[in-house]
Each structure stands twice: as C-alpha cells, then as structure tokens.
Structure 1
Amino acid sequence: MGALDWNKIVHQNQGWRLISCIWLHAGLIHLVVNMLSLLFIGIRLEQQFGFVRIGAIYLLSGFGGSVLSALFLRNSYISVGASGALFGLLGSMLSELLMNWTIYSNKAAAIITLLFIIALNLAIGILPHVDNFAHIGGFATGFLLGFVLLARPQFSWMESHELPHTNQPPKYKAYQYILWVVALVLLLVGFVISLVMLFKGKNGNDGCHWCHYLNCVPTSKWKCNT
C-alpha cells in the first residue's frame, strides 16, 4: 500500500515508496502522536517562514529519512510514518537558530532546550520497533535545509531598506553565505551518494558495522532484529 519496503524499492523499481510511506501510519495512536507533534513544531515555523519553505523541508526530510532507513534497515522492517519529516523540522529549527545567531536573544537557553528535545527523541529511537534511521536521516536533511532555506536578513539591512537614499549594509552576513554553500553541497552530495548506493542494492551496514546500534540497542529486556 506504499510502505517503505526495501525489496520493492530496489528490485521492483517502486522508488515512490520513499515518499508515500510518509503519509501512512501504523494505527490511530501513531497518526495522532505525529499530527500533534506536527502542530507543536510546525505552526511556529510556518508562521515565520511560510508554508512553501516549511513544506519543502517537511517533504525532503521525510524523503531523506526514508532513504537512510532503506539503506541501513533493508529487509529488517517495513516502515511507515512521518517521524523522519518531523525530525527534519526539528533539525531545521536548530540550523535556523545557528544561521541567524546574531539576531536572537536568549540564545543559550534556546539551543540547550532544543538540543535536549532532539537528544531525548533520538534516545527513544533506540527502542525496538522504532525506525531511528528515518529519524536520523530526516534530522540531518532538515538540519542542512535549514541553512539553505531559513536565512533571515540582518536587522541593519531591514532598517535601512525602509529608508530611501541610504547606503544599505549587506542583506546577509558573510558566515550565512558560507553556511548556505556548505550545507547545499553536503545536501546534494549526500542525496546523490545515498540514492546511488540504495538503488545498487548496497548495504549501509557494510561500511559501518556499529551503525545498527543507532537504531536499536539490545538489553536484557528486549532483543533487536539486526
């Protein structure tokens, strides 16, 4: 029905599952939790940056999460859910804060709070039957997209922009341009390499023998399907 299924993506050319799985959920509770999370995270971002940019981050982060999940989990799971896209929004919140660092007050409190929320949710992902690779892939994609799409003009430029016949300072700081270029390059290279590896049937675990612990850590209480 459109779930993330490595075998069908790679061997039956159903790449559309990398996107369609975002809209499916494993029951009502899963759907409600994700939609409440979307409201909590997404409303502020959409109000500040508009639905086009935030929608793009949401979709591309979900796609990035699906790619990483398929690359590492392969036949271990059939995955559904928007968690990767939601983690992408969290990642974009973090990069937006860093990208626009000079215009914020109470920066330390904001970044500590955000990092705590991100770390807590990623830690929950090491429980069994949770697709933490989708979370990690979505977060990484959203983090890079935040640098690309969520830069804010400097206050000095906005103030001078309202006044005619004034020498306008640069719209963006030099570090913002640097972060924009670096993030865009990393994003494009990451997508290209990951997609090539995926559709060639490569196993991400072959080059990272400990990475499966990012998805599930076995304990005396549960086992992991690795």
Structure 2
Amino acid sequence: MNLGTMYRLNTFPLLHAGFIHMIVNIFALTPLLERFEAEHGSLPTLLLFTGPFGLLPGGSYTLIERFVFRSNTAVQGASIWVFLLLAAESIKTYKQNPNFALGPYNIPTWTAPLIVNLFVAVLIPNTSFLGHLCGLAVGYLWGLGYIKFLVPNEKILRWIEGKLNLLGRLPHYVSVDQKTYGRYGVLPTTAAPRPVPTLAPLGSTQRLGP
C-alpha cells in the first residue's frame, strides 16, 4: 500500500473472488443498503459507501495486518459492508429490544452480528474474520452516532440535489427531505396527547318524579 495504490481502500468491496461470491454478497447487501438509503437519503449513501465506509474498515484492516500480525493477507468483497450495516442495525434494535432469549440465556442484541461473524468464519472457508470485524467496528460507531459527522451538511446536499435535479432525473431517488430519519434520528415530539372521550350521563341526574 502506497500513495499510488490507496484507491484500493475504496474499491476492494467491489471486487470478488468469483461469480458465486458476488451473487451471495449482492443478495445479502441489497436489502440492508436499500433500508439505509431510505433512512439517510441516496446522496449521503453514495458518499458514505464510496468514501468513509470503505476507507475506515479497509484502512484499519491494513494497519492491523501490517503492524499487529506482521502479515499481508489481501481481502476483497462487499461482505465488509454487509457486516457494517448489520452492526448499525443491531444498535437500533438494541435500543428497542436490549436482549433476545437463547434457551435460558439473555444475550444482548448488539452482539448478534459478532456471533454471525464467528459462524461465518468457522463454516465458510476463505472468509476474513478480521476484515468483517473491522466492518463491524465502523458499523457500531455509526449506529452509536460517533461518526455521523461524516455526512456533509444538509444545506450542501440540498444544493447538489437541486443543481443536478437528481430527484427528477433518477428513478427511486431518495432526497434529503424524503428520508425516514433526520440527521440525528427521530426528533421527540412535544405535542400533548389528545384526551380520550369518555361516556358521561346526558342532562341532569336530578330525580323528577315522586
């Protein structure tokens, strides 16, 4: 890795060992990526997955391989994005449902992608446990909100969308204003709940007859 080959940190998820490898990753990645795009917008998704979401896990993997394990094992494939998105989803699920039951044990929900990574490393040959772990780390950071600053300002995004007319030119494009969540999640509501109507006797309750 040098200055002339640093583009590999952003392009390695696009390369695959074969057709089967590519198809499996596409089927695993597509629903997760579609949900991420609906929540954050098409342009932020494009910027993140062509930039930091390749650079951060790829760079951390390269540094650990080179300076910790003193090795030079190459990796490729979009599975690192799959585990990144799984980690981000597990954080959201953990906030709603902190544990899931596995027999007599209550296991924290956020650990589910770690368990999946362990099973994948054991059952599927030629998979990188460390590479997937680097993707999980970035996904956890994103889910916890520590790297939300990587998304450009919404004013800049709106200017680009308007200048290029992306909403009109691209089918199924999700603009910044159409996304499910805001920049820092769903804003809490301060509206007071409406009173529930109750049945009450009509008229006076005074007895009129003898």
Q: 1:80 aligns to what?
A: 76
Q: Within 5 A, what are the aligned runs for 1:171-210?
A: none
Matching residue's letter, 2:75: S
CA contact (8 A) 1:25 1:80 kept: yes
Question: How much does 1:20 deviate?
Answer: 1.5
Of 129, 134, 138, the residue aligned with 1:132 is 129
| Secondary structure of 2:189's aligned partner | helix
Question: Is 1:155 equivalent to 2:188 in the alignment?
Answer: yes
Q: Distance in 1 between matches of 2:89 and 2:44?
A: 13
Matching residue's letter, 1:131: S
Q: Within 5 A, what are the aligned runs for 1:12-91?
A: 13-59=4-50, 60-74=52-66, 75-91=71-87
Q: TM-score, normalised by structure 1?
A: 0.52
Question: How much does 1:95 deviate?
Answer: 3.2
Percent identical pairs in the alignment equals 25
CA contact (8 A) 1:65 1:85 kept: no
CA contact (8 A) 1:62 1:83 kept: no
Q: Distance in 2 between matches of 1:21 and 1:124?
A: 20
| Secondary structure of 1:38's aligned partner | helix
Q: 1:125 to 1:51 in 2, by over 3 A?
A: farther
The root-mean-square deviation of aligned C-alpha atoms, in Å, is 3.1
Q: 1:15 to 1:135 in 2, by over 3 A?
A: same
Larger CA deviation: 21-30 vs 121-130: 121-130
Question: How much does 1:24 deviate?
Answer: 0.7
Which whole-Å deviations, capped at 9, do the CAs of 1:165-191 have from their partners, x for residues lacking one?
A: xxxxxxxxxxxxxxxxxxxxxxxxxxx
Runs of 4+ in 1 over 6 A off after TM superposition: none
CA contact (8 A) 2:57 2:134 kept: yes
Question: How much does 1:81 deviate?
Answer: 0.9
Which whole-Å deviations, capped at 9, do the CAs of 1:89-138 have from their partners, x for residues lacking one?
A: 1122233445xx3xx4x554599566334412243225652222221111
Which whole-Å deviations, capped at 9, do the CAs of 1:49-94 have from their partners, x for residues lacking one?
A: 3223444444423322212322233454222111222211112223
Q: 1:37 to 1:79 in 2, by over 3 A?
A: same
Q: Distance in 2 between matches of 1:21 and 1:73?
A: 16
Q: 1:26 to 1:97 in 2, by over 3 A?
A: same
**Would you say how many aligned residue pairs link Structure 1 and Structure 2?**
145
Q: TM-score, normalised by structure 2?
A: 0.56
CA contact (8 A) 1:91 1:139 kept: yes
Structure 1, unmatched stretches of 5+, are 1-8, 161-226
Structure 2, unmatched stretches of 5+, are 102-106, 149-182, 193-210
Q: 1:216 aligns to what?
A: none
Q: 1:88 to 1:56 in 2, by over 3 A?
A: farther
Question: How much does 1:155 deviate?
Answer: 3.1
**The structure with more helix, counted as a fraction of residues:** 1
CA contact (8 A) 1:25 1:31 kept: yes
